[in-house]
Structure 1
């Protein structure tokens, strides 16, 4: 069974992902002063999404490895 703390952390991490995603789509100029077009926003979101999915995959892999060696 997955612990409540781990589920809570996953929910908080997903909410953080959504907040950053909204920020990426609502900003008009990035930190370098470049105007954000739709294409640039989609590229930024793709990079952010790949990072999030990689982090999520690593966490799930660690969970299954720990779970396997506990039993």
Structure 2
């Protein structure tokens, strides 16, 4: 049962990440009203990816601690 919860949480995280990546890639203007260039889009996606990696590391640490 616990494994199913982890899989559901991970599936939801992947869906949220994909939606946010698509929003970042296809929007014409960012939150401040500046025009999005390829460089700005890539840096925004990099920030989103780093955040996802941090969440993944925390999740793996918690998973490892609960397995013991």
Structure 1 or 2, whichever has the larger Rg, is 1
Instruction: Verify same fold: TM over 0.5.
Output: yes
How does the TM-score come out when normalised to structure 1?
0.89
Q: Which residue of 2 aligns with 1:48?
A: 48
Q: How many residues align?
A: 68
Could you tell me which runs of 5 or more consecutive residues in structure 2 were left unpaired when the two chains were aligned: none
Q: What's the CA shift string for 1:10-64, capped at 9, x where partnerless?
A: 1011110010001000001011110000000000000000000110111011100
How does the TM-score come out when normalised to structure 2?
0.93
- Cα shift at 1:3: 1.4
Q: State the structure with bigger RCO (CA 8 A, min sep 6), 1 or 2.
A: 2
- Cα shift at 1:66: 1.2
Instruction: State yes or no: 1:35 paired with 2:39.
Output: no
- State the Cα RMSD in Å: 1.3
Could you tell me which runs of 5 or more consecutive residues in structure 1 were left unpaired when the two chains were aligned: none
Distance 2:21 2:51 in 1: 12
